[in-house]
């Protein structure tokens, strides 16, 4: 797949690269401990010492934002991985073999996609308990249908093409046809689905943590930090701005990348 360079792609690449570097660094080192409280430095405005100021416990907001972004990043990655693998499996088998199983599964997928994922995730996670693993699994499973749908459509389209027919006539095994000839065709449609899924996962996790049913304190999460920051909007607005800004940057970087890829492959608009 050839992708033409364009402004969106370049900006997206640079933003993603910078964010990824910061986030990965954050896994090993942050300027201050993410849970280190300091009673003497409560709600300090941004300065050279604390780039985004400090929160009500005197914790460095910048450090916590980076670590929270790391959590979001890991969860989103995991959700997309679960959704993508499940979606490709279900989608390609349904698309290739068709039949009643296909019809029923796609019906179920439609029903789940029509339903806002956040509501389901909210109820399920809050009743079964939060924490990274639960969120990841729950959102991942809920994201399978959207991937399955695009994969199925593409596989069903490619399945009837002449070169697949001739491969079948030449006696190539079904598994090999699926793996070597059909699946590579789904990459162009999978790529936008992955980026959209990533963003939806980031937003879903942030929303759930914001409502207090996601990542539990003291682990840093952008959503729960934003929730906390609301109480101190009067005295420490930088807390909210820094945290929310990070969510926006994460989402923006990936969506620019996605838009860039779509334009670069001629699927986007000018």
Partner 1 sequence: MKVLLRKILNLMIALLIVTLLTFLALQVIPGDPVTKMLGADATAAQAAQLRTRLGLDQPVLVRYGRWLLSFLKGDPGISYSYSMPVAEMLKGKLSVTVILTALSFAMTVLISIPLGILTARSESVRVNHFFLIMDQLFMALPPFFIGILSVYLFGIVLKLFAPGTYVPLSESVAGGLGYLLLPALAMALPRSAMTVKMLRSSIRSQMAEDYVRTARSRGLTDSQILHRHALRGAMVPVVTFLAQSAAEIMTGTIIIEQVFTIPGLGRLLLSSIGSRDFPVVQAIVVLMAVFVILVNFAADLINMAIDPRIRVS
Establish if 248 lies at the interface with partner 1 (CB under 8 A).
Answer: yes
Task: Tell me the DSSP string of 161-205.
Answer: SHHHHHHHHTT--HHHIIIIIIHHHHHHHHHHHHHHHHHHHHHHH
Token digits for 30? 């942050």
Residue 240: count other Cβ atoms within 10 Å of its Cβ. Answer: 19
Query: Of the two residues 39 and 114, which places its CB atom closer to partner 1 in the complex?
Result: 114
Establish if 229 lies at the interface with partner 1 (CB under 8 A).
Answer: yes
Query: Of the two residues 85 and 111, which places its CB atom closer to partner 1 in the complex?
Result: 111
Integer angstrom CA distances of residue 218 from 41, 60, 222, 247: 18, 14, 12, 19
Q: Which residue has the tokens 């049913």?
A: 213
Establish if 206 lies at the interface with partner 1 (CB under 8 A).
Answer: yes
The footprint of partner 1 on residues 24-63 (CB under 8 A) is none
Contact between 199 and 176 under an 8 Å Cβ cutoff? The reply is no
Q: How far is the CB of 234 from partner 1 (least distance, A)?
A: 6
Establish if 255 lies at the interface with partner 1 (CB under 8 A).
Answer: yes
Integer angstrom CA distances of residue 137 from 123, 131, 201: 14, 10, 11
Which residue in 144, 215, 240, 261 binds partner 1 (CB under 8 A)? 240
Q: How far is the CB of 233 from partner 1 (least distance, A)?
A: 5
The footprint of partner 1 on residues 127-166 (CB under 8 A) is 127-128
Q: Give the interface segment with partner 1, choosing from 32-40, 60-68, 152-160, 210-218 (CB under 8 A).
A: 210-218
Query: Of the two residues 84 and 251, which places its CB atom closer to partner 1 in the complex?
Result: 251
Which residue in 116, 184, 218, 266 binds partner 1 (CB under 8 A)? 116
Q: How far is the CB of 96 from partner 1 (least distance, A)?
A: 24
Q: Give the interface segment with partner 1, choosing from 20-28, 37-45, 156-164, 238-246 (CB under 8 A).
A: 238-246
Q: Where are the alpha helices (DSSP H) in the chain?
A: 7-28, 61-97, 99-114, 117-128, 132-159, 162-169, 174-176, 183-210, 222-231, 237-264
**Contacts with 191 (C-beta within 8 Å, 6 or more apart), sequence order:** 258, 261
Q: Give the interface segment with partner 1, choosing from 20-28, 68-76, 107-115, 134-142 (CB under 8 A).
A: 107-115
Alpha-carbon span 116 to 79, nearest angstrom: 16
Establish if 207 lies at the interface with partner 1 (CB under 8 A).
Answer: yes
Binding site for partner 1 (CB under 8 A): 7-8, 111, 114-116, 118-119, 122-124, 126-128, 199, 203, 206-207, 210-213, 226, 229-230, 233-234, 237, 240-241, 244, 247-248, 251-252, 255-256, 259, 268-270
């Amino acid at each position: 797949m050839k992708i033409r360079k364009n402004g969106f792609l370049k900006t997206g690449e640079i933003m993603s690269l910078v964010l990824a570097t910061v986030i990965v660094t954050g896994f090993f080192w942050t300027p201050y401990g993410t849970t280190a409280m300091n009673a003497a430095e409560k709600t300090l405005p941004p300065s050279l010492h604390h780039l985004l100021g400090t929160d009500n416990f005197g914790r460095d907001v910048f450090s916590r934002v980076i670590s929270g972004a790391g959590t979001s990043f890991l969860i989103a990655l995991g959700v997309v991985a679960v959704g993508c693998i499940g979606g490709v499996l279900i989608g390609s088998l349904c698309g290739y073999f068709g039949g009643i199983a296909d019809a029923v599964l796609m019906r179920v997928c439609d029903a789940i996609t029509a339903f806002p994922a956040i509501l389901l995730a909210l109820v399920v996670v809050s009743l079964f308990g939060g924490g990274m693993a639960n969120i990841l699994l729950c959102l991942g499973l809920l994201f399978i249908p959207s991937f399955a749908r695009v994969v199925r459509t593409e596989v069903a389209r490619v399945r009837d093409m002449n070169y697949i027919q001739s491969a079948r006539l030449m006696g190539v095994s079904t598994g090999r046809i699926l793996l070597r000839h059909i699946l590579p065709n789904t990459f162009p449609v999978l790529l936008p689905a992955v980026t959209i899924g990533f963003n939806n996962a980031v937003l879903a996790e942030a929303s759930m943590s914001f409502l207090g049913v996601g990542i539990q304190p003291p682990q840093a999460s952008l959503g729960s930090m934003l929730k906390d920051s609301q109480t101190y909007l009067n005295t420490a607005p930088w807390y909210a701005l820094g945290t929310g800004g990070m969510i926006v940057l994460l989402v923006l970087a990936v969506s620019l990348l996605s838009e860039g890829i779509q334009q670069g492959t001629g699927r986007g608009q000018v």
